[in-house]
Each structure stands twice: as C-alpha cells, then as structure tokens.
Amino acid sequence: MERTSITYAISVISFFIAGLWPAATAFSAKDEPKPPGIPPEKVAEYVHAVLQADRTIYTTQVVNRMQEKGVVTAAEHWEQDNALPLPAQFLQHSGRLVAESGYGIRYRLIGLTPIYQRNAPATEFERKALESLNRTSEKAVTGIVSSGRKQYFQAIYPDRAVSIACVACHNTHPLSPKRDFKLNDVMGGIAITIPLD
C-alpha cells in the first residue's frame, strides 16, 4: 500500500514538472494566451491598406496618366469602348474575383447615393455605417453581422473622391442622384466582410 502511494505521488509530481497535469495551469483566466491567428479588425485593416494602395496607383499612375497623355481614356462601358475601367469599376471587379475565390473575404463599394442600386447598402448596419461616415469620416465603422447561421466581421471605410475623374463621373452621370461632389468628399464606403468561422 505504501509503495502504491509513493508511486502515485511520484506520478503527480512528474505531471506537474512536465506541465501535463490537466487541472494545473500556468496562467490565470485573464493571463491566458490569446487564440492563434490575426484578429478580424487587423485583417480588415490589411485588406483596406492594399485596396487603397492599388486604387491610388491605378487612378494616378494609370488612368490619370494615360488620359493626360491622350493614350487611352477610362470609361463606364470600357469593354465596348476599348477603354480603361473607371477606378470604382476596377475595385468592384477585383472584389468580385476575390468573392469567387472561395476564401470568404468580400469587399465592395457602397453608397447612400449610388449611381446603380446594386451599390446601395445591403443591410441596416451598412446604411447606418454610411450615415456615420458622412458625419465623421476619420475611421472605419465596424461590427459583427449575421447571414443565415454564419457570422461575419464587417468594416466600412470612408471612400473619398480622390481624383477629378471620380467627381466628374458622379456629377455628370444621368443616373446619379447627387451631382455636387467635390474633391475629398466622402462619396460612400468600402465595405470589407470577413467570415468569423
């Protein structure tokens, strides 16, 4: 009996030393390490940074430059007109390709006064986020949204009129409900949606 007790005691001490005792923990609840992975807020910031950089380069170094040199213009019906896609179309088309990739991340342009209704807010969260960005547009509006049984992190970043091409298109388009945009105005938002499962 005494030998069994000693064997048990040695086993318990060995488990503690090896860190394998199931009830023992090196951390309190508040000190527990966070689960591995990047938080969705940070992923959204990364995606937004890449989108902004690509869009800025495309707008300034491709569209504006080619139009100024008279090489080619950007046009809404670019496929039929042998033209470049407008900067907004460039982002929308790349967003569709990403959505089709199967990774679950989606992004698109949305606005309260879109030229086409497909670019209107799809949810109450998106509508309220756009209203908030119109009042104060310094940072993204974020939240958790549901679609069916799935939950998503969504970030809506302000989309500013960064070039005269953006302003001219919206102010002169026959379907545009708003025709008084100026450079640097918030025209809508870039909605980035990331699955949480």
**Helix 87-100 crosses helix 40-57 at what angle (to 10 degrees)?**
140
pTM of the entire predicted model: 0.78
State how far the alpha carbon of 118 is from the alpha carbons of 1, 44, 63, in Å.
Answer: 78, 22, 24
Architecture of domain 40-195: 2-Layer Sandwich (3.30)
How far is the C-alpha of 120 from the C-alpha of 126, rounded, in Å?
9
How far is the C-alpha of 134 from the C-alpha of 127, rounded, in Å?
11
What is the model's pLDDT at position 147? 86
How far is the C-alpha of 75 from the C-alpha of 84, rounded, in Å?
6
How far is the C-alpha of 59 from the C-alpha of 68, rounded, in Å?
12
How far is the C-alpha of 109 from the C-alpha of 89, rounded, in Å?
9
Torsion, Cα of 37, 40, 44, 49 (10° steps): -30
Let me know: does 194 contact 44? Beta carbons within 8 Å. Answer: yes
In order along its 197 residues, the chain shows pLDDT tens digits of 444 443 433 343 333 334 433 333 343 445 555 557 899 999 999 999 999 999 999 998 999 899 999 999 999 999 999 999 999 999 999 999 999 999 999 999 999 999 999 999 999 999 999 999 999 877 899 999 998 899 999 999 999 888 887 888 899 999 999 999 998 899 999 999 999 98
How far is the C-alpha of 147 from the C-alpha of 122, rounded, in Å?
11
What is the model's pLDDT at position 30? 52
For residue 18, give the 3-state DSSP assignment. Answer: helix
